Amino acid sequence: MRQIVLDTETTGLNARTGDRIIEIGGVELVNRRLTGNNLHFYINPERDSDPGALAVHGLTTEFLSDKPKFAEIADQLRDFLQDAELIIHNAPFDLGFLNAEFALLGLPPFTETCGEVIDTLVKAKSMFPGKRNSLDALCDRFGISNAHRTLHGALLDSELLAEVYLAMTRGQESLVIDMLGETQTAGGDASGPRVALESLSLPVLAASDDELAAHQAVLDNLDKAIKGTSVWRREPAPAEAADAA
Which pTM does this prediction carry? 0.68
Does 9 belong to an annotated binding site? yes
One DSSP character per residue, 33-47 reads EE-S--EEEE---SS
Identify the pLDDT of residue 186: 46
Q: b/e string for 71-105 if b means 16 or more Cβ within 10 A? A: eebbeebbebbeebebbbbebebbbbbbbbbbeee
Does residue 32 contact residue 174 with C-beta atoms inside 8 Å? yes
Identified catalytic residue from 40, 89, 148, 152 = 152
User: Domain spanning 2-180 has what CATH number?
Assistant: 3.30.420.10
Tens digit of pLDDT for each residue in 169-200? 986 444 444 444 444 444 445 455 555 555 56
Tens digit of pLDDT for each residue in 120-136? 999 999 999 999 999 99
Pairing mode of beta strands 39-42, 21-30: antiparallel
Does 57 belong to an annotated binding site? yes
Distance CA 71, CA 25 (A): 16
Domain ranges in the chain? 2-180, 209-244
Pairing mode of beta strands 85-88, 2-10: parallel
Q: Which amino acid is at 89?
A: H
Residue 131 backbone zone (phi > 0: left; psi -120 to 50: alpha; other: beta): beta
Neighbours of 139 (CB within 10 A): 19
- Of 2, 69, 4, 13, which is closest to residue 41 (Cα–Cα)? 69
Does 220 belong to an annotated binding site? no
pLDDT bin (cut points 50, 70, 90) of residue 101 is: very high
More confident residue, 96 or 229: 96
Does 83 belong to an annotated binding site? no
Is residue 25 classed exposed, middle or buried when 0-12, 13-18 and 19+ CB atoms within 10 A define those classes?
Answer: buried
Whether 215 is catalytic:
no
Tens digit of pLDDT for each residue in 12-37? 999 999 999 999 999 999 999 999 99
Does residue 21 contact residue 9 with C-beta atoms inside 8 Å? yes
Neighbours of 50 (CB within 10 A): 15
